[in-house]
Amino acid sequence: MAIPGLTQMLALFGLTAAIAIGLLFLTAGVAQWRHRALLPGVIANYRLLPASLVGPAATALPLVEVATGAALLIGLHPLAVVVAMALLLVFAGAMAVNIRRGRGHIDCGCGHGALRHPIGWSLVARNIALAALLGLRLAFAPSFTAMDMATALAGGIAIALLCLLFQSLSALTASPLHRR
């Protein structure tokens, strides 16, 4: 038996997550495109793709992230949600493999081309948590009031900004200038 209001609340969390992740994918894709000369090196550092696929992956990734982010924001659902969840889980898997290999020093490639942000279990957990929250968007899709939409938009923007803030702070604390 469903608890009254619980379905609506979970659906609202899913919509909020979709907005936050849409914004994160947009900002990451744009940043990666702006620093596209660095992206092949970042992807190659993961040592998961053959050298012949690094260039095409570096060209496609920013475009896929921008398209996925935009699709999440305009509500193209459920395909955009599935693609976003898959991307987040692939990124988490790639990081986990490299951490297990003892390669936690490599740059995550999360979008800050000018700032190196080393991978870590916290990024793996973040991506898995974001994918799980996004799963709520698939599970619950009721209609939303204007107030629900405004709440989800405000929450999504706040979550995206907090993720970007923590990512930037982490990258700054890992920088050689900080260690002086």
Q: How many CB atoms lie within 10 A of CB 44?
A: 17
Span 90-134, pLDDT tens digits: 999 999 999 999 998 898 888 665 567 789 998 999 999 999 999
Give 118's strand partners. Answer: 107
| Nearest CA among 65, 155, 165 for reference residue 115 | 165
| 115 vs 48 pLDDT, higher one | 48
Rg (CA), the chain: 17
What's the sign of the alpha-carbon dihedral 107, 164, 27, 79?
positive
Residue 46 reports pLDDT greater than 70:
yes
* 40: pLDDT strictly greater than 70: yes
